[in-house]
Amino acid sequence: MTQSRKRWLTASLVVLLAAGGYFAWEMLRRDNLPPGIASANGRIEATEIDIAAKMPGRIQDILVREGDFVTAGQVLAHMDTTQL
């Protein structure tokens, strides 16, 4: 095999490996998330607030779920007043 033929073969092999690597990279890095869902890295900081009633008792029903946004004065739960 001549020297120039070896160079062409080596160059072709390098180009094919680079193209295959790029194709594999594109296929593996695609997100498999449904539309409307985003993915990111980061840190979430929140303020935890404890809630207490003035009188002990059982809760009849809860009007909000964990993680819901609430405003000052919003009713969060109803107490069972049958025993009061």
pTM: 0.39
Looking at residue 19, its pLDDT comes to 95
For the chain, list residues with pLDDT below 50.
none
Domain extent, residue 70, equals: 3-35+51-79
* Number of domains observed in the structure of the chain: 1
Alpha helices of 1-84 — where are they, by DSSP H? 3-29
In a domain, 46, yes or no: no
Looking at residue 12, its pLDDT comes to 94
In a domain, 44, yes or no: no
In a domain, 40, yes or no: no
In a domain, 45, yes or no: no
CA–CA distances in Å: residue 60 to residues 67, 72, 79:
20, 21, 5
In a domain, 74, yes or no: yes
